[in-house]
Chain A
């Protein structure tokens, strides 16, 4: 009899444990917010995970930011609960003019949002090609906003298509002070580093850096074969 009762108790407990897990757990967030950082309808090329946007939600006891990292093609995404959020462009974080106005975002199901920014400089018409042991990048620079001085234009090469100031196997920079006419097309060339010379293909990007801003603005990566 005792044995019977105790086995029932154990079964009951097990059942309770199995079901109990379900009962008091929250649903995970199911809505996905996706978006792009854009200038003039074009996505801005950035460093992979270099720039952070912030999402804030008022009205709850816990008030802390949800960091959203931007990928190198200017896109970002976050899994969220439905609700209204404020999207903040962190001052000094991205390679553009500070804009502390937040963007109201209403998340309801899958939502798409565009984050407009005003870069100091942009890269236009970037082409990168290889001839022999040299990679040559050509681009023109557009000055968009006043207040920034051009620090450098840099060509980066790397093994994977994630290429930037941090992830690269070689780079060469032209100082802003050496660029006399910023409207003229600009050429940067680099001898292919030893670590890439045996590769059948690699990737390259051109970037422009504004003085006093940590992040560069990049062209999209170009595959060199």
Chain B
């Protein structure tokens, strides 16, 4: 065979190139032993501050709240809980949204598994991070290693607080548990710690980390004062649990102390709560929000506004356009909604509205009937009945005669037409919203209230707190980035006031409570005497819809009395306030005026019923099956 010399030459060149390539590449010794491009090694993660912060972000995101602003419902191993709908389950409000969630108005009794949480995967993730940062983080500076560890320990302490307030004492796992394949898992089965031990653990962790944690000035990552705020709240809970459990006719306890803190420990806990609160109030960089001279708007902004807000201590923040939620879409007042669906899901109850006192310090019950109960009280405008109420009512609730986003919210249930023959009023209500009566004036407002239409307030009130005041934020296209407040200075004042009062320091307690009341429009030193009921009411109105009410009633051991499941109880039922325009020609004192009718909210079915067995949530049977050392909670 004869080959073309030109081709021969080319073959020769190719051979040369291939050999050259081979020689070159064979120099790379570990060519087959490369770093994976899609998996990060422990050394890479724990030496890179960016990766650690990314991991921390995941841990912050998984902090559970019984109610929140988004729609996350996983009380199992993962433990992500942030379900805004739960705001409708207690006595602050009820469900007025889509009728497929009407079960929230018909909770015949809270299940023993309500408020369950067993997120030990979260605790394991944190324990693992704490151990790995020590083991692998060799290139990290000592200072940042300490700071990250402190932050992780804060998150773990916060999570144990979230567990203990639901379940009582839980196993205190602080190291990762590793199975040794011996066939015996007994060394991994930890018994429940005493309830008091878990609270003591939280206090000692906070004390150990507060000066290492850094993050000064941050509201989304924990700093020294965030840790102290946790201590302030946790110690207050422990103190009141010790005191009020002991005052029950039959205290709820277990033999091993997993449930039930001895009454003798109350003073110590209250003292710690007061000390932690004082440290935040006196040396923290926080001040009560007082930027708006309109006190009602000011209170709304204190919780909801982000700019120049020095009141919030710790929040779960959202940021448009990507980190957002549909809370405003679901809960804005019906008449001013910007989307074609949604709105009005959780609406405040009359019970809550009446808890706000009048500015002269008198009881907040609204005056709808004359003193001898023979006739209505006639008001010139639909807003007049709310004159001189605590400014926090305006900041929390949209009530008749107020506006939101500068748009008036039209709230009127119907008209009362005088029937001379019957010598009584005929009630006329519109079958639809925004209707006009035969006299050409308003019949039913564009925001209701209406007895049966879904996504209209059933109580006559709408939520203002946590609703976004910015344009188009109640649409599903834009959505809202209002933050959720875990801790703010207002609560710390209340913690300090309650702890001081329980310690017998009524003078100090008055100082804290009066400061907070002054911001709400009461005069300086509006209270001169104090009772525990007054403090509890302050807490109810200041912290409404901020995930406090349930836990407060639990720790005061009043939940089974307030929510006693009786239809005749004024606290267990949810009440509504329906405004009507009066049509009574020839009676100038009454015609065209407004009257108000109090009633049980029409869509509300079953009274709230909290049983003794609800004070501590039942532990899942699967957990008990897996770990025979865990004892059950009482009554289950």
Contact = CB atoms under 8 A, between A and B. Distances in A.
Interface in B547-573: 560, 564-568
Given A91-B634, A92-B635, A63 B621 contact: yes
Contacts of A130: none
B49 interface: no
A170 B249 CA distance: 24
Contacts of A65: 621
A91 B251 CA distance: 14
B249 A169 contact: no
Given A91-B635, A92-B634, A214 B611 contact: yes
Interface in A164-210: 165-171
B112 to A, nearest CB: 9
Given A92-B634, A93-B635, A63 B625 contact: yes
Given A93-B613, A149-B249, A169 B568 contact: yes
Given A93-B613, A93-B635, A214-B560, A165 B565 contact: yes
Contacts of A167: 567
B636 interface: yes
Interface string B604-620: 00010101110000000
B568 A92 contact: no
A167 to B, nearest CB: 8
B250 interface: yes
Contact of B612 (A92, A165, A168, A170): A92
Contacts of B625: 63
Contacts, number: 45
B565 A92 contact: no
A214 B564 CA distance: 10
A170 B251 CA distance: 29
Q: What is the interface of chain A mostly: helix, strand, loop, or mixed?
A: loop
B32 interface: no
B18 interface: no
A188 B408 CA distance: 54
Interface string B240-260: 000000001111000000000
A38 interface: no
A166 B565 contact: yes
Contacts of B565: 165-166
Contacts of A169: 567-568
Nearest to A67: B112
Size band of the interface chain B makes with A: 20 to 34
A212 B248 contact: yes
Contacts of B612: 92, 214
Given A63-B625, A212-B250, A214-B613, A90 B566 contact: no
B566 A166 contact: yes
A171 B567 CA distance: 11
Contacts of A149: 249
A64 B636 CA distance: 13
B634 A166 contact: no
Interface string A61-95: 00111000000000000000000000000111100
A144 interface: no
A87 to B, nearest CB: 16
B566 A212 contact: no
A211 interface: yes
A91 B613 CA distance: 10
A166 B611 contact: no
A92 B613 contact: yes
Given A63-B621, A63-B625, A90-B636, A166 B609 contact: yes
A63 B635 CA distance: 20
Q: Which of B249, B251, B621, B622 has the most CB of A within 10 A?
A: B249
Given A90-B636, A166-B609, A211-B250, A64 B568 contact: no
Given A92-B612, A93-B613, A212 B634 contact: no
Given A90-B636, A91-B634, A91-B635, A213 B250 contact: yes
A42 B251 CA distance: 31
Contacts of B635: 90-93, 214
A45 B565 CA distance: 19
A53 B607 CA distance: 24
A170 B564 CA distance: 14
A15 B520 CA distance: 74
Interface string B557-592: 000100011111000000000000000000000000
A214 B609 CA distance: 12
Nearest to B621: A64
A168 B564 CA distance: 12
A168 B565 CA distance: 10
A52 to B, nearest CB: 9
A63 B250 CA distance: 32
A151 B251 CA distance: 14
Interface in A91-108: 91-93
Contact of B568 (A90, A91, A170, A213): A170
Contacts of B248: 212
Interface in A134-173: 149, 151, 165-171
A160 to B, nearest CB: 13
Given A92-B613, A212-B250, A168 B621 contact: no
A181 B223 CA distance: 62
Contacts of A92: 612-613, 634-635
18 contacts: A63-B621, A63-B625, A64-B622, A90-B635, A90-B636, A92-B613, A151-B249, A166-B609, A167-B567, A169-B567, A169-B568, A171-B566, A171-B568, A211-B249, A211-B250, A213-B250, A214-B613, A214-B635
Interface of A: 63-65, 90-93, 149, 151, 165-171, 211-214
- The list of the 7 closest CB pairs from A to B, nearest first, reads A212-B250, A211-B249, A92-B635, A214-B612, A166-B565, A212-B249, A64-B621
Given A64-B621, A91-B634, A92-B635, 5 more contacts: A149-B249, A165-B565, A166-B566, A166-B609, A170-B568
Interface of B: 248-251, 560, 564-568, 607, 609, 611-613, 621-622, 625, 634-636
